Structure 1
Amino acid sequence: MGFINAIVTNIAPIFIATSPVTSYGDQIYSMHRSRSSAGFSLDIPLIMLVASILKVFFWFGTHFSTSLLIQAVLMIAVHLLLLHVALTNRPPPSHLPFQPHASNRPYDFWQWRNPRPFWTFITYFAGVLLVLHFLVSPTAYFIPYTDLLGMVALTIEATLPLPQLLANWQRKGCKGFRPSVIVNWVIGDTFKMWFFFSSPVGEVPWAFKACGIFQACCDLGLAAQYLMWGDGPIGVDGAGREKELRSPIVQEGEGFFNEKIGDTGVVGGIEMNDGHAWERPRAI
């Protein structure tokens, strides 16, 4: 058991540090290849960008494990790319023309159709934290301030699977969300839990452990959804909407559009000629 524990504790930091690339690389490639991000929740990059930026500033007060810091930095880079690809390949809005867009968020937060507000929000968020860092760091409040940032960051990160869980539940399927992401999350949770609870005291704060336990439970829920529903019922697209069914276009010379008064035609078994109608004899 000690031998296995030594292997895991040596491999886990490497896996944790590189997990952003292994977890989301296939998702990015899949959306780029299919030219569609339908079914993928944009709240995932929002949650991870906010949490990872907060964790970077948290490190200056706590100096937690270096592998967790590298993970946070790589997570920022990967999710900036993920957000760019998702916005570039976002499906058109589902509401009808001239119908106002329905949003249940104040100011349509993170549901904007224009990509620019997404990047503006991330820039201002990081800029404000940087200014606060320089203002608070010389004071006695720096450690409590960074501890607060860490708690907020880990609480936000713990909610990462919730938007995707809700989206999958609403459409009873996981179409658009790559199973490779789910597999990486579950494997990552296994390594992460082992690393957290086998590390020396003080190297991994308890806030990380509590966040990891909650997130592992949610990731298992995502895996259960995929095993139950797969991509979902046939006839539902990646955004959870029923595909529109249209009648075939009537070609010129077919149907009642071609019938004029004075012309001979057949409508529903009724023959018309010179404005008079009678039932056409049926062949026996």
Structure 2
Amino acid sequence: MDWVISDELALTVGHVVGWFSAGAMIIGGIIPYIPQYRQIKRERNAEGFSLHVCLALLVANTLRILFWFGKHFEYPLLIQSIIMNVTMFAMIHLCVRVRNINQLSQARQRIFTDFHLKDFWNWSDFQSYLECMVVFSIATSLLMYLLMDYAVFVEIVGFLAVFTEAMLGMPQLIKNYRSKSTEGMSIMMVFFWTCGDVFKTLYFKIREAPLQFWVCGCIQVSIDFLILLQVYFYRGNAEPVRRGSHRGD
């Protein structure tokens, strides 16, 4: 009898831990961006945050959603991708609005349909970012539909999805290196990145997710630690260009 109760208790605890882990995976990804969002909104300055972080995550999670149709993985990871895309569009909307408010003069409007390579992902209106991702989503969805029966293609899509996500911190790392400053970047965002990515990588390994997931997770954690090192080495440095800056990311 005692053995039966112990087994039932262990099973219940296992279910609770499983549901908690799944919930953490779904909402944990957006938590790092809450302090960055609040900081940009409070200071009305988006220069310290690289919008290419949003690009990396939008591409990665769109590819991950398509990968699911070719090779089903756990639903929490699928739901996380959908929520993350919504979060990234919210970040882009805020950054574009703040940058337009801060313009000291009427700058040339840069929109997606101009198709100027030098202006890519540095457009003046939020709609251009939406249009870009719609085009990308349609093109990749068509490819997945046509080539879904080819296992090699599906695996490549899965690898590109997680590898792109693993590289999401690279634009911020480069931006910090070029300016020799982390001013305007939320340190809490990077701290939550690191904690979340460590948890996510362990989750991938324990839940036996596809190999691409946890290998690229290790790469992502390494980049997070490099950014934290920048916070230490660049402490006290102020970014030299602030007012009236229209630099690309």
The normalised TM-score by structure 1 is 0.69
Q: Which amino acid aligns with 1:241?
A: V
- Whether 1:74 and 2:78 are equivalent positions in the alignment is no
Q: Which of 226, 230, 237 pairs up with 1:233? A: 237
| 1:220 Cα deviation after fit | 0.5
2:224 alignment counterpart: 219
Q: Which of 42, 45, 69 pairs up with 2:54? A: 45
- CA distance, structure 2, for counterparts of residue 155 and residue 110 of structure 1: 20
Does the 8 Å contact 1:40/1:176 carry over to 2? yes
Does the 8 Å contact 1:49/1:79 carry over to 2? yes
Does the 8 Å contact 1:58/1:149 carry over to 2? yes
Aligned length: 223
Q: Return 5+ residue gaps in structure 2 as ranges.
A: 1-9, 109-115, 245-249
Q: The residue matched to 2:195 in structure 1 has which SS?
A: helix
Does the 8 Å contact 2:183/2:237 carry over to 1? no
| 1:60 Cα deviation after fit | 1.3
1:127 alignment counterpart: 138
Q: Return 5+ residue gaps in structure 1 as ranges.
A: 99-104, 245-284
Between 159-168 and 189-198, the greater mean CA deviation after superposition: 189-198
| 1:123 Cα deviation after fit | 1.2
- Whether 1:88 and 2:93 are equivalent positions in the alignment is no
Q: Counterparts in 2 of 1:86-235, with a 5 A limit?
A: 86-90=95-99, 106-137=117-148, 140-141=149-150, 143-199=151-207, 203-230=208-235, 232-234=236-238
- CA distance, structure 1, for counterparts of residue 24 and residue 168 of structure 2: 19
Q: Which amino acid aligns with 2:201?
A: M
Does the 8 Å contact 2:190/2:224 carry over to 1? yes
- CA distance, structure 2, for counterparts of residue 210 and residue 68 of structure 1: 16
- CA-based RMSD of the aligned residues comes to 2.9
Q: Which of 39, 61, 68 pairs up with 1:30? A: 39
Change (3 A) 1:190 1:133: closer
Q: The residue matched to 1:81 in structure 2 has which SS?
A: helix
Q: Which amino acid aligns with 1:177?
A: M
| 1:9 Cα deviation after fit | 6.2
Q: Which amino acid aligns with 2:43?
A: S
Change (3 A) 1:177 1:130: same
Q: What is the aligned-residue identity percentage?
A: 27
Q: Which amino acid aligns with 1:80?
A: F
The normalised TM-score by structure 2 is 0.78
CA offset digits 1:213-245 (Å, max 9, x no partner): 111000011111112223x424x3xxx42779x
CA offset digits 1:101-121 (Å, max 9, x no partner): xxxx93421123344432211
- CA distance, structure 2, for counterparts of residue 44 and residue 112 of structure 1: 15
Does the 8 Å contact 1:8/1:194 carry over to 2? no
Between 25-34 and 182-191, the greater mean CA deviation after superposition: 25-34
- CA distance, structure 2, for counterparts of residue 61 and residue 116 of structure 1: 30
Highest CA radius of gyration, 1 or 2? 1
2:112 alignment counterpart: none
Task: Report 1 or 2 for greater relative contact order, CA contacts < 8 Å, sequence distance ≥ 6.
Answer: 2
| 1:130 Cα deviation after fit | 2.9
